[in-house]
Amino acid sequence: MNGIEGKVAIVTGASSGIGRAAAMRFAEEGANVVVGDVLEDGGQETVDMITDAGGEATFVRVEVTNDADVKALVETTLDVYGGLDFAHNNAGIEGEMSQLADTPDDDWARVIDVNLTGVWRCMKHEIPVMIERGGGAIVNTSSVAGLMAAGGGPYVASKHGIIGLTRVAAVEYAKQGIRVNAVCPGVVDTPMVSRAAEDAPELIDQFVAMQPLGRMAEPSEIASAVVFLCSDDASFITAHPLPVDGGLLAI
């Protein structure tokens, strides 16, 4: 893709699943990648996979609920690679599957803090250094649950909120050369979906059946959309929540 080679990308939640696939795709396209995750073993494994394939990557442990961690993630990126061009704010959790009135307070707070406030924290620290760089591109991971009522209340609320934050940031910083978009995956073959299937396998089957393509997506298919949205090929796309859902939202 155009405009990726030689640039610098941060990917959070990159120890597995969509984040790992996005980090690897950025590296395949020639970017230097900072792999951020709270899980050190998985994050370092992602770095090793990238470097074994001839790419360049660095791991930084980050808990997106901790502002100092997020600040350090961006500062380390600047120290190691000299700037920041792209960010894929992908870290997220699913929370418990419960009806709204049965949702524990601590589950609500944790999901919102990781999924929604975590994206805000990341953008808060990423955007100023992108402005100094002369521009950049951000992709936040929402979900089809950000465009419909699919899943637990905290998860759905957080994913809707990500789309709102994405649009606000896109409008506020467009004239400073920063594009901000979101990807909205359908059912993807990731550890998060596997965990959900342990508690409610019938729910996963139902959503897969609703996707006209009739299967789960591979993480690499979402990663391709993420890197495309950061590339020069998407230079006039901003404030857009892009469904990558096998046609689910068309039903």
Are 88 and 11 a contacting pair, CB within 8 Å?
Answer: yes
Active-site annotation holder among 86, 155, 173, 207? 155
Rounded CA-CA distance 216/204 in Å is 9
Any idea what the Cα angle at residue 99 is, between residues 93 and 100, rounded to 5°?
85
Lookup: tokens for 23? 């980090």
Q: What is the DSSP string of 103-156?
A: --HHHHHHHIIIIIIHHHHHHHHHHHHHHHHT-EEEEEE--GGGTS--S-HHHH
Q: Is 155 a catalytic residue?
A: yes
Identify the helix (H) or strand (E) that includes residue 185.
Answer: strand 178-185
Q: Residue for token digits 């990558």?
A: 244
Reduced to 3 states (helix: H, G, I; strand: E, B; else coil), residue 33 is strand
| Catalytic residue ranges | 155
